Amino acid sequence: MKIWKKISLGILAVFIVFMGKTLYNAGVFTTIKPHFNGSVSEIGGFTGAEDITIDKAKGIALISSNNFSNASQNGAIYLLNINETAPKPVELTEKLAFDFHPHGISLYRSLDGSKRLFVINHRKNANYVEVFQFTDSTLVHLESIKSSLFVSPNDIVAVSENTFYLTNDHDEELSSWRSKKDLLQIPMGNVCYYDGQRAKIVAAGFLYANGINVSLDGKKLFVATTSGRKIKVFDRDMTTGKLTESDEITINGADNIELDEYGNLWVGCHPKLLSYLAHSKDRTKPSPSEIIKINYQSKGYYTFDSIYLNDGKPVSGSSVGAVFGDKLLIGTVFGNKVLLCTLKK
């Protein structure tokens, strides 16, 4: 009996530690004290604004908008000129010849000044990466890229006119079994690299691989692991695309990652993941939103600053914060508006 009692106590101790770690990773013990040093205005007209990227040469934002609750309703890419006093969204993808449900986006600017927008598209029959030529006011579809490795793609970063990395938040499609594995905190996320001809997995073992981006010089790659409370840092072979993990940054509920003109990371965060999960099922339940700025220098040397934090109002579930000058655009997964914030200098 004594042996079984010890075994039972051991199992109980492991369970308590596991549950404590799970609740900690979910931000249950995180205190929310709303703050922002600046002014905020709201811009409506969206059905979710999950990802935002800004053409820093022009001050034009591109916004990926999709109703994740309604697969029959097409999403859109919107343009928002934040140089204007009262900017209004302009839809750029009304006349596509295929169903369009955008998720992560990435804007690549070539040395000759031409620009391509890469978009993860959850079509009804498969997942694709759609590539568009972008001018200051139009998107022209160039090609659709498909791979069996695009299993559950979330975010994307282009590193040339025809190469990119994308994250699969899971390595299998949605199912009840996958949900159980999530509860057990089994790492299923990965990073896929497309070299212009074929795709391959170059990093794996992430607890919900989410936002992805590269440093301004292209030598570092950053991957947000939302459930794992980390941003993983990789050294990147710019010739082969190979990744070597070199560092990690602890951060609550990281989603998409954008860079400013100085190379700082701006991360949309879900500081309370359980609240976000509740919000994803019931929009009336608020989920705190946070934007964190990270100044990453080298391994072990970085600082971060919480720029914006709310208690779930006026928007819930922030997924991205994109910066241009003193303007900060905040988007959410399920909201019908974005926040245009002016930062005080």
What pLDDT is stored for residue 235 in this prediction?
A: 98
Phi, psi at 7, each rounded to 5°: -65, -45
Question: What pLDDT, on the 0 to 100 scale, is given for residue 8?
Answer: 59
- The predicted pLDDT at position 17 comes to 46
Rounded to whole angstroms, the Cα distance separating 187 from 8 reads 27
Cβ pair 117, 106 in contact under 8 A? yes
pLDDT at 240: 97
Q: Phi/psi at 178 (nearest 5 deg)?
A: -60, -40
**Residue 185: how many CB atoms within 10 A of its CB?**
14
Q: Which residues of 323-332 are buried (b: 16+ CB within 10 A; e: fewer)?
A: bbeebbbbbb
Say what the alpha-carbon torsion angle 167, 170, 173, 174 is, to the nearest 10 degrees: -120
DSSP state letters, 1-55 = -HHHHHHHHHHHHHHHHHHHHHHHHTTTTPPP--EESEEEEEEE--S---EEEEE
Consecutive H or E run containing 316: none
**pLDDT for the residue 6:** 58
Phi, psi (degrees; rounded to nearest 5) at 12: -60, -40
Per the confidence metrics, is the pTM higher than 0.75? yes
Helix spans in the chain (H): 2-25, 176-183, 273-281
Rounded to the nearest 10°, the torsion over CA 305, 328, 254, 240 is -100
CB 327 within 8 A of CB 40: no
Q: What is the pLDDT of residue 325?
A: 94
Cβ(54)–Cβ(60) under 8 Å?
yes
Distances from the Cα of 266 to the Cα of 21, 53, 93, 319, angstroms: 26, 11, 27, 11
Alpha-carbon gap, residue 50 to 233, rounded angstroms: 23
Q: What angle do CA 25, 179, 118 make, to 5 degrees?
A: 80
Q: Which of 80, 136, 143 is nearest to 113 (CA)?
A: 136
Q: What is the DSSP string of 236-261?
A: E-TTT--EEEEEEEE-TTEEEEEE-T
**CB neighbourhood size of 43 (10 A):** 19
Contact (CB, 8 A) for 294 and 231: yes
Cβ–Cβ under 8 Å, residues 290 and 318: yes
Residues of the chain with pLDDT under 70: 1-2, 4-30
Rg over alpha carbons for the chain, rounded to the nearest Å, is 20
**Integer Cα distance of 53 and 323 in angstroms:** 9
Q: How many whole angstroms separate alpha carbon 323 and alpha carbon 62?
A: 12
pLDDT value of position 10:
56
- C-beta separation of 199 from 150 below 8 A: yes
The residues annotated with a catalytic role in the active site are 103
**Residue 305: Cβ within 10 Å count:** 10
CATH architecture type of domain 31-343: 6 Propeller (2.120)
- Whether the ω angle into residue 314 lies within 30 degrees of 0, i.e. cis, is yes
| pLDDT at residue 18 in the model | 46
Q: Give the tokens for residue 254.
A: 């990281």
